[in-house]
Amino acid sequence: VGALDGKTALVTGASRGIGQAIAKRLAADGALVAVHYGSNDAAARRTVEDVKAKGGKAFPVRAELGVAGDAERLWVGFDAGLRELGAEPGVDILVNNAGVAPAGDFTATTAADLDRAFAVNVKAPFRLVQTGLTRLRDGGTVVNISSSATRVASPMTMAYSMTKGALDVFTRTLAAALGERGITVNSVSPGFVETDINSAWLRGSEETYAQVVNAAALKRIGEPEDIADAVAFLASHDGRWITGHDLDATGGLRL
């Protein structure tokens, strides 16, 4: 029996990187997983196929976030996917993972970059929860993927870090708002995990790579699975008494 048998999960940004690992882990634990993505059909299809090949249940949901009507469109796709599978409507586990990181020093961040980062990383999770409240089941859980960038100041990622700071406030406040329904709300903050979001920068020079490795107490760069396992814990029965918390999953970054 899987820890999440009978549960339905929605993971945003699950076509690649950390979200993909989260989707696979929740499916391995028995959840039916909606694999949300923005535009990369092939990557989303691969994620769904990987889950199915291991005996899990998943379906893709495409919706560009950070644009008008994004949350509503995502839920329409989610509802349709469940209907097609003959599954009950509703969601037990919502993981707000999709995110973007504007490149470059803060002096180079344009007003458009700033708007987009807040639209995808903050406004979309907020609207997704708000427009999904009737679908979110009592006793369910919301996990937001934040970042250690809220704790370790970096002028190179100022706009990005600010969006994650806002997301942390959302997490705590939403936990207070939804607690009476038995819904827990937490965040998981990765440090450095090599994915498409940062691979070019990480691999830019051996020195950069070594600095990142050495910045973590555990002396390596994170794997998407390191984050997925932390999310699975919060989503499981074992995490039931934890709410309004930010879980540092950084391997001890800059302690």
Distance in Å, CB of 192 to ligand NDP, minimum: 5
Note whether 99 binds ligand NDP by CB under 6 A.
Answer: yes
Count of residues of this chain found to bind ligand NDP when the rule CB under 6 A is applied: 30
Note whether 154 binds ligand NDP by CB under 6 A.
Answer: no
E-strand stretches of 54-167: 57-62, 91-96, 136-145
Q: Name the 3-class secondary structure at 62.
A: strand
The one among 7, 8, 15, 117 contacting ligand NDP by CB under 6 A: 15
Per the CB < 8 A criterion, the answer to whether 101 and 52 are in contact is no
CA–CA dist 21, 27 (Å, integer) = 10
CA–CA dist 249, 230 (Å, integer) = 7
CA–CA dist 125, 146 (Å, integer) = 11
Note whether 162 binds ligand NDP by CB under 6 A.
Answer: no
Distance in Å, CB of 221 to ligand NDP, minimum: 8
Residues 59-98 that bind ligand NDP (CB under 6 A): 64-66, 97-98
Note whether 198 binds ligand NDP by CB under 6 A.
Answer: yes
Single out the catalytic residue among 59, 75, 160, 170.
160
The encoded tokens of residue 184 equal 């827990």
Write the DSSP assignment of 235-252 as a string of letters: HSGGGTT--S-EEEESSS
Nearer to ligand NDP, 37 or 137 (CB): 37
Residues 209-248 that bind ligand NDP (CB under 6 A): none
Integer angstrom CA distances of residue 105 from 154, 155, 192, 198, 206? 9, 6, 18, 14, 21
Annotated active-site residue 209? The verdict is no
The one among 8, 109, 141, 147 contacting ligand NDP by CB under 6 A: 147
The one among 28, 82, 93, 100 contacting ligand NDP by CB under 6 A: 100
Site of tokens 């990987």: 50
Residues near ligand NDP (CB under 6 A) are 13-19, 37-40, 43, 64-66, 97-101, 120, 145, 147, 190, 192-193, 195-198
